[in-house]
Chain A
Amino acid sequence: NAGVTQTPKFRILKIGQSMTLQCAQDMNHNYMYWYRQDPGMGLKLIYYSVGAGITDKGEVPNGYNVSRSTTEDFPLRLELAAPSQTSVYFCASRDRGSTDTQYFGPGTRLTVL
Chain B
Amino acid sequence: GNSVTQMEGPVTLSEEAFLTINCTYTATGYPSLFWYVQYPGEGLQLLLKATKADDKGSNKGFEATYRKETTSFHLEKGSVQVSDSAVYFCALSAQGAQKLVFGQGTRLTINP
Chain A positions near chain B (C-beta within 8 angstroms): 4, 31, 33, 41-43, 45, 48, 50, 56, 58, 90, 92, 98-99, 101-107
List, in ascending order, chain B residues with CB within 8 A of A45's CB.
Answer: 99
- Is B93 in the interface zone, CB < 8 Å from A? yes
Listed A/B pairs (8) with beta-carbon separation below 8 Å: A41-B105, A43-B89, A48-B99, A90-B43, A98-B97, A99-B51, A102-B44, A107-B42
Q: Is the CB of A99 within 8 A of B100?
A: no
Residues of B within 8 A of A (CB): 32, 34, 36, 42-46, 49, 51, 89, 93-100, 102-105
Is B99 within 8 A of A58, CB to CB? yes
Q: What DSSP secondary structure best describes chain B's contact surface? A: loop
A50: B residues at CB distance < 8 A: 98
Contacts of A99 in B (CB 8 A): 32, 49, 51, 93
Do B99 and A33 touch (CB < 8 A)?
yes
Cα of A107 to Cα of B94 in the assembled complex, Å: 26
Judge whether B98 and A106 touch: CB under 8 Å: no
